Amino acid sequence: MTETTQPAQFFTKLGAAIWQLDRAIALFLDEADYACAITLAGAADEILGKLLDEAGKTHALGQFLDLCSYLDPTTKRKAFVSLANARRDDLKHITHGGGMAVTRDDAVEMLDRAVSNHQSLTGGESPSILRYMARPLS
C-alpha cells in the first residue's frame, strides 16, 4: 500500500488564526470538545492579539489586564496573564503532575477572547462566529 503525499497548505498568519478559530467553534458547538476548543482558540487568540499589537490596537487580553491592573494595582500584570491563560497552558504544557477539569466555561472564556480579537482586527464576523454568538448561553 502506497501513501500519497498531500500538497502543503499555505496560510497567512491571519488565515491560520481564522482557520483555528473556526475549528475551535465547530469542536465547541458540534462535539462539546472543550479541551481542543480551548487549545485552538488559544492559538487563534495569540496570533490575532499579536496582529492587533502590530496594528497599534488593544487585544482582549490587554483589555483584561488593564482592568485587573486598575482594580488591583499592587499585583503584577504577569500574574493576571497566568490567570487568564491557566487552562490553555494546562492543556499545552506540563505545568503540574495532576489532572485537570476542563469546563464549558473555560472554553467560552478562550473563545470569547479570540472572537473579540477577530472582530477588532477585521471589523466583522465569520459565519462560524455568528453561529457561536447565536448559541444558547447555558
pLDDT in tens, 50-107: 999 999 999 999 999 999 999 999 999 888 888 888 888 888 877 666 788 899 999 9
Q: Is residue 2 part of a domain?
A: no
The number of domains in the chain is 1
Cell of 15: 488565515
* Cα 108 to Cα 97: distance, rounded to the nearest angstrom: 25
Average pLDDT, the chain: 91
Q: Cβ(77)–Cβ(69) under 8 Å?
A: yes
Cβ-proximal residues to 79 (8 Å cutoff; 6+ apart), any chain: none
Q: Is residue 60 part of a domain?
A: yes
Q: Is residue 44 part of a domain?
A: yes
The predicted structure's pLDDT at residue 95: 65
Q: Cβ(20)–Cβ(3) under 8 Å?
A: no
Question: Strand, helix or coil at 90?
Answer: helix
Q: In 3-state terms, the chain is what percent helix, strand and coil (to 5)?
A: 65, 0, 35
Q: Is residue 49 part of a domain?
A: yes
Q: Cβ(8)–Cβ(111) under 8 Å?
A: no
Torsion angle (degrees, nearest 10) of CA 5, 22, 36, 50 = 100
pTM, full prediction: 0.86
Enclosing domain of residue 34: 13-132
Q: Is residue 117 part of a domain?
A: yes
Q: Is residue 7 part of a domain?
A: no
